[in-house]
Structure 1
Amino acid sequence: MKNATLLTSIILAIICLTSCKEVKQVSKEKTTEKLPNIVFILSDDQAWTDYGFMGHKFIKTPNLDKLAAESRTFTRGYVPTSLCSPSLASIITGVYPRDHMVLGNDRVLPDNVVENNRAWDMPWRSENYEHVIRNFKKLETLPKILKDKGYLSFQTGKWWIGNYANGGFDYGMTHGDPNRGGRHGDYGLEIGRKGMDTLYSYIDLALEKKKPFFAWYAPFLPHSPHNPPESLLQKYRKSAPSEYVAKYWAMCEWFDNTCGDLMNYIDEKGETENTLFVYVCDNGWVQNENDANYNPISKQAPYDYGLRTPIMFKWKGKIMPFHDDRSLVSSLDMVPTVLALLGIERPNALDGINVLDKNELENREAIFGEIYNHDFNTVEESLKYKMVMTDPYKLIVPNSKNRPNEQVQLFNIYEDPLEQTDIANKKPSVVKALKKKIEESWKK
């Protein structure tokens, strides 16, 4: 019996040692699990209606249609402001403009003299904006957060905050030197329009170094100048109401083509299953039929034509594709959602949520927006509108100082997605309740 007991003890000890070794090995494998590449694809000046998968009758976007079909696609996405510089700053930081303080495109002080509405061309523009850049460099950005996980980050396309390094990127196309024309992207604006080779080189570098990468692809597309390839323009001349509209529609397809090129390149490298794609547009655009300008209901406006955008998250095999036409999401959600997927703790300063978390999404009551003057100084001086979006209402509150002749507007954005009928006078209790939500948001 003693020998049997001793033999049993030895067997149990061997099993225990083997099991412990296996547990340690599993734990080690979890900590060294391959991290996904992350690709942010950002459209520039495109209305939420102007995609094939969003129902446009003429614009062809087959590559983005395919991305939408393979993604958790939120068709009721929003950016917090309808102007590129503050919108992009919110995407990379995950906070509202009032927090990152990039309120507009150009900073104008009270004693500055602006000639011909061209603040961007004034000799003092870069000096004024240096204050904005210094403040921005103190903030957390997604590339900075990802450094601790070993990511290489690179910037291409639109970038307003000086040199790419100011956002925490390791590599980039934008030098930001005002003496060489640096303002909103400089060499970065060539990506897409003049090919994709620089971005491909960055991807190759990361793969060579065996590093996960974060790519910021924010091409100057379909942004004006609307000068699409002639082959694309010919497709739309017959169906568009004017040459101006035909050019804009063709630009949307040109942008879509570049997105397809990028996704195909990553697929050719065998990285599709290990890449998280996130899509958003920085702000909307409605093309005038009779000139090259945009309609004032879109860019820089508080309406959905300026603010609404589809937002997509694709990670093959990890995120189940689903087309969500009801939930309200924001570009502020992009950073916290990415961090959640990577298992990185969310910084307290972030204003968004993890939209892939069912509880967080279902418990969300509202998302907010704010719009400032294109040429800005302080929040108080430059604020034009505050907005709140709920299910089903959207409230627009003009700042009486900057918009003294405008009234509060209320829309049912689910029944009236083009915001044709203001119902503020019919629903005073809703207006009061939503004003309170805005006030509470700003107190935070």
Structure 2
Amino acid sequence: MIRFISLSLFVFFHLGLQCFSQENRPNIIFILTDDQRWDALGFAGNELIHTPEMDRLAKEGLFFENAFVTTPICAASRASILTGTYERTHGYTFGQGEIKPEFIDQSYPALLKESGYHTGFFGKFGVNYSGFESLFDVGENYDRLDRFKDRRGYFYKTIDSDTVHLTRYTGHKAIEFLQQAPLEKPFMLSLSFSAPHAHDPAEEQFFWDRPFDTLYEGQYFPKPPLTDQKYFDALPLYVREGENRNRWYWRFDTAEKYQRSMKGYFRMISEIDHEIGLIRKELEKQGKDRNTVIIFTSDNGYFYGERQLAGKWLMYDNSLRVPMIIHDPRSTQSGIVKDMVLNIDIAPTIFDLAGIDKPKSWQGLSLAGFLNENSAEFERTEFICEHLWQVDIIAPSEGIRTEKWKYFRYINDPQHEELYDLESDPMEKNNLAMNPAFWNRLFEMRKQFEEKEKEMRHRKP
């Protein structure tokens, strides 16, 4: 049974726009942010952040309250978004060379372009693929420049000879694309903002544009939950001494640094929010707002210092859970969707909206049904979560999450297992794996994961 809470119903009467057929396909804009956790927008209940445009998208459309990535790191997560498959299936992450051609050939940009859409991409592609230029009709792949160990990592692109922040540049390229898109074709525009990702080589970490200097200036950010020493001590040694801890020192280890980092992180999100507003104004100016679907999400979650950690990568919900919004002006549905949805659902949803059959190799589910008044039952009860990159500074891990339970283990130390009752313990405070009263549940979850994992590993495109 779908658990859908209707907040409001609204109808836009425009000839033909109620039709989802291939003869009248909608325009689609897919917006991806970098390291924005699920509650880093006002609509999610965050009373400190200023995100009026994201909030408006969520209020007018569908907000997926339980959205997750299957792998909480940018490279693998973006490959999963492109291909609609789990990391264990597509096999791509850092240090793996290029993504396998059989998966990129079955990616949403390749197939959507073939179907007749005018396609564009601007921002961080995040996947190593030498054929990027031919994948889209119009595209530019860029990200922070690590060779600059200061604000120049975010300020090196120019508009009319003026150097601008990457967020402003991406918004500018989006509006330029909309102004130049051919009228005889529907368009599909992918925007991938580098923000609010910290600029790791720099001491200050977070950089934003000048108009946002005073935003949050007088705001005090309360310290995050789970900062007590016992939560840090409960972590295995390789996590306590790993990259999550190193980046905590970079961003959060003093009260002053924590306040500075949180203000910077929020300013960068607010800057993206501003660009979304400019893009929507351009759609309205061109009369395309009533037939353009906007999908919004992030590539992974983020630790604010919980468990005395920073970054992502681990199997806790802090790094797995992301915001997700679908705004379809042709739909009469708006509200909060409670079902578990994933990053691998983005590509099937785009195809469903475009009236194209998805490849059989894709493992995600279309979310377009939630836009219908009599939507069908959503068929997900569990998903695999995984981070398979074998690197010394980040312990690879894997697990499975249902609505009520989460099980995970560290791949190189499978004896360390964690089990959480998410219904009674949503913050994952109490690891039940060592409690004999829950050993039957532990065994069941371990078996469930291993069966699902085997199925994923042997699946081919």
Fold match (TM-score > 0.5): yes
Find runs of 4+ consecutive structure 1 residues off by over 4 angstroms. 29-32, 186-191, 358-361
Determine the structure 1 residue equivalent to 2:326.
Answer: 313
3-state DSSP of counterpart to 2:43: coil
1:419 to 428, 442, 460: 428
Please report how far the alpha carbon of residue 199 of structure 1 lies from its aligned counterpart in structure 2 after TM superposition. 1.9
Contact between 1:370 and 1:383, CA under 8 Å: does it hold in 2? no
Please report how far the alpha carbon of residue 267 of structure 1 lies from its aligned counterpart in structure 2 after TM superposition. 2.1
| Equivalent residue pairs, number | 374
Determine the structure 2 residue equivalent to 1:78.
Answer: 68
Q: Deviations over 1:226-269 (max 9, x none)?
A: 11234434231322342222111211211211222222222221
**Percent identity over paired residues:** 25
1:239 to 187, 196, 219: 219
**CA root-mean-square deviation:** 3.3
Q: Does 1:170 align with 2:137?
A: yes
Contact between 1:87 and 1:283, CA under 8 Å: does it hold in 2? yes
Please report how far the alpha carbon of residue 67 of structure 1 lies from its aligned counterpart in structure 2 after TM superposition. 0.6
Q: What is the alpha-carbon distance in structure 1 between the residues aligned to residue 22 and residue 193 of structure 2?
A: 34
Please report how far the alpha carbon of residue 139 of structure 1 lies from its aligned counterpart in structure 2 after TM superposition. 3.4
2:402 to 390, 395, 398: 390
3-state DSSP of counterpart to 1:192: helix
2:317 to 304, 309, 314: 304
- Greater Cα radius of gyration, structure 1 or 2: 1
Q: Does 1:364 align with 2:394?
A: no
Contact between 1:297 and 1:305, CA under 8 Å: does it hold in 2? no
2:52 to 58, 62, 70: 62
Contact between 1:221 and 1:251, CA under 8 Å: does it hold in 2? yes
Contact between 2:29 and 2:190, CA under 8 Å: does it hold in 1? yes
Determine the structure 2 residue equivalent to 1:147.
Answer: 113
1:175–1:79 distance in 2 versus 1, CA, 3 Å: closer
TM-score, normalising length from structure 1? Answer: 0.75
Q: Which has the higher contact order (CA 8 A, sep 6+)?
A: 2
Q: Deviations over 1:30-80 (max 9, x none)?
A: 977321111111111112121111111211111111111122221100011
1:228 to 201, 208, 222: 208
Please report how far the alpha carbon of residue 370 of structure 1 lies from its aligned counterpart in structure 2 after TM superposition. 0.8
1:298–1:191 distance in 2 versus 1, CA, 3 Å: closer
Amino acid at match of 2:123: G
Determine the structure 2 residue equivalent to 1:126.
Answer: none
3-state DSSP of counterpart to 1:235: coil
Q: What is the alpha-carbon distance in structure 2 between the residues aligned to residue 349 and residue 30 of structure 1?
A: 24
Contact between 1:69 and 1:321, CA under 8 Å: does it hold in 2? yes
Correspondence 1:186-335 to 2 at 5 A: 191-194=166-169, 196-206=171-181, 208-225=182-199, 226-241=206-221, 242-288=259-305, 296=309, 298-318=311-331, 320-324=333-337, 326-335=338-347
Please report how far the alpha carbon of residue 164 of structure 1 lies from its aligned counterpart in structure 2 after TM superposition. 6.3
Contact between 1:96 and 1:351, CA under 8 Å: does it hold in 2? yes
Determine the structure 1 residue equivalent to 2:389.
Answer: 373
Please report how far the alpha carbon of residue 393 of structure 1 lies from its aligned counterpart in structure 2 after TM superposition. 1.3
Correspondence 1:39-118 to 2 at 5 A: 39-104=29-94, 106-107=95-96
Determine the structure 2 residue equivalent to 1:17.
Answer: none
Q: Deviations over 1:135-176 (max 9, x none)?
A: 466531111221233101111111122456368222211279
1:317–1:137 distance in 2 versus 1, CA, 3 Å: closer
1:167–1:52 distance in 2 versus 1, CA, 3 Å: farther
Q: What is the alpha-carbon distance in structure 2 between the residues aligned to residue 297 and residue 197 of structure 1?
A: 31
